[in-house]
Amino acid sequence: MSTAWITIAAADLNDYQVGAMITALRETALADGQADPFANIMHDRCNYVRNRISKKIQISLTPYAVPPELKTCACWLIVEAMQTRLPGLALSEDQKSQISRAYKDLDIAATEDLPISVPTDPVTPAVSTGVGFEQVSTPTRKATRTKLDGL
């Protein structure tokens, strides 16, 4: 069955982390002219998720889209990456446990333990036809059994 894969939005992080912390991670300690780091971090972490599962299943043609079954996983990986921007905001043991669980889920993704839905817009793999060969001629044997008889 095909299911539309999802693109993680900044608001999705609020389902997994306190909104005030997400706001701090997105708006605090920015360099002059630096925009909200969410988009770049989301792209990096969603591509990580996609790369981890791409060897097992087809991925969505939609850039940065992840399977809905891995939404929680992707959100926790984004929170983890964003948190490193502000070392003063340490993750709790529960949050570290959730991040550890996210990595474990990636290990079992697309197996019978964690099935992944087929995207409605799968990337079509490049089909490579094997390189064939053509035998041009068969060499004539110079040393035959009868010629070598008696040696």
pLDDT tens across 97-134, in order?
999 999 999 999 999 999 999 999 999 866 655 666 56
In this prediction, residue 128 carries a pLDDT of 59
Contacts of 8-14 spanning 24+ positions with Cβ under 8 A: 8/42, 8/46, 8/64, 8/66, 8/71, 8/74, 8/75, 8/78, 10/36, 10/38, 10/42, 12/71, 12/75, 13/38, 13/75, 13/78, 13/79
CB of 41 closer than 8 Å to CB of 78: yes
Confidence of residue 90 (pLDDT cuts 50, 70, 90): confident
Residue 77 has pLDDT above 90, yes or no: yes
> Of 64, 63, 76, 67, nearest to 103 (Cα)?
76
Q: Residue 46 and residue 63: Cα distance in Å, rounded?
A: 9
Residue 144 has pLDDT above 90, yes or no: no
- Does pTM surpass 0.85? no
pLDDT tens across 6-59, in order?
999 999 999 999 888 899 999 998 899 999 999 999 999 999 999 999 999 999
In this prediction, residue 142 carries a pLDDT of 74
